[in-house]
Amino acid sequence: MGNHKPYQGEVTGHRFNLSRIIDYRNNLLPRVQGEVRTNGHGSILEATLTARPVALVFTSLWLSAFLVSALAALATALHGRSQWTFLFPAGMFVFGYCLTQGSFWYEASRAKRLLQAVAASDSGTSG
Pair 85, 74: CB distance under 8 Å: no
Whole-angstrom distance, CA of residue 49 vs CA of residue 27: 14
Q: Where are the domains of the chain?
A: 7-126
pTM of the entire predicted model: 0.71
pLDDT (tens place) for every residue of the chain, 127 residues total? 456 677 889 989 889 898 888 888 888 888 989 898 888 888 888 888 888 899 999 999 999 999 999 898 888 888 877 777 878 898 999 999 999 999 889 888 988 888 888 777 766 554 4
